[in-house]
Structure 1
């Protein structure tokens, strides 16, 4: 049974052949001086060893330091996941984390480490093989005096195809949009997708938006409602901004990019209406077992003609400049063409045309893949120049090829079978 640990002399699979990709975009991995001070690290048989620091407060900060703890956690999480992804795409290896200024009043339990990272680490297992076959963590062995060293060792197994820290694209469910699994992305990319000529039938007629009225519709995979009124803007971080700027900031914060990537995968696209409030109605007390119901009430945003023009311009500019659209042939869509893939319309909710619902629609499926980040998916690998190591992004075209390999790669199929077998064993009743 294969588990992550010290490397063997087994030659890497052909799919892992070392390549230097985009060397101009890199992160130095040897700025950390821990490798000079870690006792016994030279005895560990691993070709790829990366190092990083983490403040002890990340794990052990008091409750009163909640803001600090959150900031440290996010920074640590981003760096750790990037380096793990890099090791997975470089035949595996070891990540050494130096816990700086660890509070000796706390024990050596690694539950907090596991709670923070197990889900994210599991998400980077592209072949669905079990977690324990891909990772193993422990404290560095104690010294001769029996004192533990403040270093966490995380052994990482190499990927069977390509590991991805963040796909930066979403899949539509009926009640939500979700981070896809690697094999879902592979399945979607393996199919030929053609831009549909069918008109999106979830769009609502502009004359149906009357201030205070309840709409006779409900949310689904291609129809979403979001509250956006003066009250929302006053409570947002952009409350001191002009109305048009605050509205754009809030719309982007409501995951506009995420929804666009999900809608582009649907045959008829999808639409979001900003300016419709979701109101929950609890069941009557005598019917306590009933589920709450939701109604969608029109609450438009007060806008001038200039506000409308500026909001539309700024939203399209953000979509063009910050998102990546790649067609089914691997070509990046030009910014002027991206602007034609998303339509923005304002629907008046009052007779005096002072209040509006903002409609953002993806009118049809996109024949390709759309990402929330201009850099595309976040996938990393290790590049070596002499004794120097750099973390560099995996080239997008190679990432796409390797993702598609998941459907044919024997190692990937084996991992998927093992995952299914494990799930079946867990579902079987326990023998008494």
Structure 2
């Protein structure tokens, strides 16, 4: 399912598509200084379909790719195949990168010291850079980049491209960046949103700024009313509606976080599809208020942080009855839209509250680096008397499908193993995650109540090594481990969990050694019935179940850009004593 990035409604395959680069891109304009430690290399951009690659000038063009031009307007980036055809309202930029970080500078800026001139090539969303004089990579094409706010648009040669922009130079630091993929987030819009709703949004923002103050931070978001109001009776429709609402909720929280961390501002909420004369906004309140309340992490009241009013209540904006103005007050501490880490209850794990995490980091506890053990367990039958608690969680193996690697991926994706690991690392003794143990309801005759009993549901593995390697590699690529100062710790260097196998076969046939929780006979290639045991140790630091770490943002009004707060700055802001916002 493809969703319109503006209104959130579903896009049909024949709809117009627009793509953009994620907010980790840095743009440098004419008046900006070149970032410290950056050097400049001119790159050329190449595209094939929706794939983009940057290559240093003269490099071999990738097979199936062609050159596109690059231009900028504010912070949106567009790619066009034919040079000289510029997107409307865009201008030429130079692009600078450092360790995957990209910045754009308008044409005529001084190149950063130490950068090489490169060409940029594109293939779908993959970017390649090649030095001048090198061959174009096989399968790639040269592209030109156009920038406007945070969006990157790709326009193919011979097709209509926006006007008012200039081609851009692209710069990179890493000489070996040819093989590095440039991470991008694809945005797509309805043609109606591009031609009607987005221009109307821009006009509303302009008039509102003139009415309040041009110095104010003003952001906007659109949401189709049918995902706020009661539409969708079938279960499938409800599932789709939830996905669309979740997508718009994430966008709203990102922008609220950015404004709370940037001395306040306004969000214009455009109710796409609202009937003329309908002034009911209660559906948005129901949708947004609980989420907005979660972003009050400095002890204030909801009414002191947020205000709402219709945009038409401003005289200059009386024709915009389908817009709501949400005022967002400044925070006295960093506001995080998603912490991406968990803590434990005795029967489950939960999102950790901001104040709890703040206290945890300030206390800087030092834990013993010992992995959690389950005393007395050498065989699956020994688990019949265990019970879930803050350091022990049981997961059922109802229906095992696919091979060993598929099972490992299922446990990570559907049974939230990374989230449990992040929670267990905050306890003094760590924790154990058992897959293949089920708590079954059992009615006690004569006593008149229902309790739970343990049932073993053996996990059948043909190759433990393949299963274990998949589990470890996926978790290693998923979690982020940091010390209390926000310095990243390599999961390979600091092992935080171990995968073991508790045998379900008779103990005399296969001994499970308690000393190292490892089976003597792995019997690679044979069917093996076990309970999977993931043992987690406590960590003197913070473990996030998402490689992104905490999601907290700032808004740069000068460049009209929402940027992530890096984790070191986030930790400092989180633990700093509260100050009264300016």
TM category (shorter chain) comes to 0.7 to 0.9
Q: Does 1:272 align with 2:433?
A: yes
- 1 CA distance for matches of 2:359 and 2:535? 25
Answer with 1 or 2: which has the greater Rg: 2
Q: Does 1:374 align with 2:544?
A: no
**Structure 1 segments of 4+ aligned residues over 6 angstroms from their partners:** 20-23, 25-28, 143-148
Give ranges in structure 1 of 5+ residues lacking alignment: 1-19, 235-240, 413-432
- 2 CA distance for matches of 1:286 and 1:73? 46
| SS of 1:67 mapped into structure 2 | helix
- 1 CA distance for matches of 2:240 and 2:267? 24
- Superposition pairs for residues 21-420 of structure 1, below 5 Å? 24=102, 32-33=198-199, 34-37=201-204, 40-41=207-208, 42-45=210-213, 47-60=216-229, 61-64=231-234, 65-103=237-275, 107-141=278-312, 149-196=321-368, 200-202=372-374, 205-207=377-379, 209-210=380-381, 215-229=384-398, 231=399, 233-234=400-401, 241-282=402-443, 287=448, 290=449, 292-304=450-462, 306=463, 308-338=464-494, 340-351=495-506, 354-362=528-536, 364-385=537-558, 388-405=559-576, 408-411=577-580
Shift of 1:134: 0.8
Alignment match, 1:11? none
| Residue deviations 1:274-309 (CA, integer Å, cap 9, x gap) | 00112122465873xx5x4222211111111x2x21
Change over 3 Å in CA distance of 1:285–1:332 after alignment to 2? same
Change over 3 Å in CA distance of 1:252–1:331 after alignment to 2? same
Q: Looking at secondary structure, tell me which structure has more strand per residue.
A: 2
User: Any conservation in 2 of the 1:84–1:156 contact (CA below 8 Å)?
Assistant: yes
User: Any conservation in 1 of the 2:307–2:328 contact (CA below 8 Å)?
Assistant: yes
- 1 CA distance for matches of 2:205 and 2:428? 55
Shift of 1:103: 4.6
Shift of 1:204: 5.7
- 1 CA distance for matches of 2:490 and 2:542? 14
| SS of 2:339 mapped into structure 1 | coil
- 2 CA distance for matches of 1:87 and 1:190? 25
- 2 CA distance for matches of 1:117 and 1:204? 49
Change over 3 Å in CA distance of 1:30–1:56 after alignment to 2? farther
Shift of 1:251: 3.8
| Residue deviations 1:355-385 (CA, integer Å, cap 9, x gap) | 11100011x3111111111121000101244
- 2 CA distance for matches of 1:285 and 1:156? 59
Shift of 1:214: 6.9
Q: Name the TM-score, length of structure 1 as normaliser.
A: 0.77
Q: Name the TM-score, length of structure 2 as normaliser.
A: 0.58
Shift of 1:243: 4.1
- 1 CA distance for matches of 2:273 and 2:371? 60
- 2 CA distance for matches of 1:348 and 1:28? 59
Change over 3 Å in CA distance of 1:354–1:73 after alignment to 2? same
Change over 3 Å in CA distance of 1:202–1:138 after alignment to 2? farther
User: Any conservation in 1 of the 2:371–2:497 contact (CA below 8 Å)?
Assistant: no
User: Any conservation in 1 of the 2:332–2:580 contact (CA below 8 Å)?
Assistant: yes
Change over 3 Å in CA distance of 1:197–1:214 after alignment to 2? closer
Shift of 1:194: 1.4
- 1 CA distance for matches of 2:313 and 2:216? 23
- 2 CA distance for matches of 1:261 and 1:178? 11
Change over 3 Å in CA distance of 1:267–1:286 after alignment to 2? closer
Change over 3 Å in CA distance of 1:204–1:294 after alignment to 2? farther
| SS of 1:91 mapped into structure 2 | coil
User: Any conservation in 1 of the 2:441–2:452 contact (CA below 8 Å)?
Assistant: yes
After superposition, the CA RMSD in angstroms is: 3.0
Q: Looking at secondary structure, tell me which structure has more helix per residue.
A: 1
| SS of 1:113 mapped into structure 2 | helix
User: Any conservation in 2 of the 1:325–1:369 contact (CA below 8 Å)?
Assistant: yes
| SS of 1:141 mapped into structure 2 | helix
Shift of 1:127: 1.1
The alignment covers a number of residue pairs equal to 370
